[in-house]
Structure formats: C-alpha cells, structure tokens
Amino acid sequence: MLPSALDILVSLLLLVGGGFALVGSIGLARLPDFMMRLHGPTKATTLGVGAIVVAAMVHTSATSGRLSLQELAISLFLFITAPVVAHLLSKAALAQKARDGDG
Amino acid sequence: MLTVAVPLTIGLVGLAMALNLWRLLAGPALEDRILALDTLTVNAIALVMLAGIALGTRAYFEAALILAMMGFVGTVALAKYRLGGDIIE
C-alpha cells in the first residue's frame, strides 16, 4: 500500500487527467467545425493523458521503492507528437477546403 | 482513495473513448475520422496505463509506448495521404 500523501497525489493526478481527457473528447464530439474540433484532442486530451502517465510513474516509483522515469518517455513523446499531428491535419483540411473551392 | 480513483478514471476515459468512437463513425469529413482515430489511440494509452496501476504490474509500459509510436506514425501517414495522395515523397 502507498503512504497516504502519495495515495492522494496519485488519485488527484488520475482524476485531473481523466477529466481533461473527457473534456477534450467532448470537444471533439460537440464542436461545430473541424478547425474548432482540432483544439480539443490536441490540447486537453494530451494534457490529460500526460497527467495519467505521470500518475502511473509516481505509483510505480512508490511501490517499487526506486525512482522510475521510463513512463516520462511516453508523456514526452505525446507532448512532442501532438503539435505535429495537429499541424498536418490542419494543413490537410485547408488543402481539402481549397480543392472544394471555398478556401 | 486509489481504490475509488482508478475505477472512476477508467469510467471517464471509457466515456471519452465512446465519444471518440461516435465522431469516428459520424465523420463528416475524412480529417474528422483521422483525428478521432488519433484521439482514440491517445485515450487507449491512458487506459493501458490505468490497467498497469490497477493490476500493479509494469508489463503494460511497453504496450503503451508502442501504442504511442504506432498511433503517431499511422496518423502522419493518413494525413500525408490526405495532403498529397502519396505517403513517401
């Protein structure tokens, strides 16, 4: 079992992460335009999943008794790739709009 | 507290994945579907990490890393296809 302070920290990080992931997906589902819909997953969901990964890192470090930083690679990778994906998708949407003749 | 937080977060992420799935099916443009698939992958990473916490094992770390890499490469390939029609220039 974890000490109570770490238990609260991991639980808080998990709940914040899950909330942000849900907010990003609600944005993806509810917003009216593709350029608006791009905002939700690329910002809110990335932050939320980053928080969940950090929570997993704290949990593994606390239970195994030594610092474990491998999980940080996942959140770092996500934070690096999210803007690249958003840029490529917005470029694709713009090109499609130009092909349709209303861009 | 963790015994409450983990199932609750699994529920939140599951709901998020259901919304992504709805956007994946509803469209309307191909870009929306690509974005929904990418978000589905990112949420799947969160779910895999949550499974790792709930079961107390580290074996899920590699699965999450591979999901992150494959999701990124797949999304980039689909977006490049959508941009120019060919993936490798």
What ipTM score was computed for the predicted complex, to two decimals?
0.85
Would you call B44 an interface residue with chain A, using a CB distance cutoff of 8 Å? no
Q: Which CATH class is domain B2-84?
A: mainly alpha
- Angstroms from B89 CA to nearest CA on chain A: 15
Written as six digits, the tokens of A32 are 């009216």
Name the residue with tokens 């690329």. A42
Distance CA(B33)–CA(B23), nearest Å, equals: 7
Interchain CB distance below 8 Å, B22 and A91: no
Would you call B32 an interface residue with chain A, using a CB distance cutoff of 8 Å? yes
Mutate to test the interface with A, among B3, B53, B60, B75 (most CBs of A within 10 A): B53
Q: How many CB atoms lie within 10 A of CB B80?
A: 17
Q: What is the domain partition of chain B in residue ranges?
A: 2-84
- Angstroms from A102 CA to nearest CA on chain B: 15
pLDDT tens profile A47-75: 999 999 999 888 888 888 788 888 888 88
Task: Pick the closest to residue B20 from A15, A81, A26, A16 (CA basis).
Answer: A26
Distance CA(B72)–CA(B13), nearest Å, equals: 19
**Predicted TM-score of the model (pTM):** 0.87
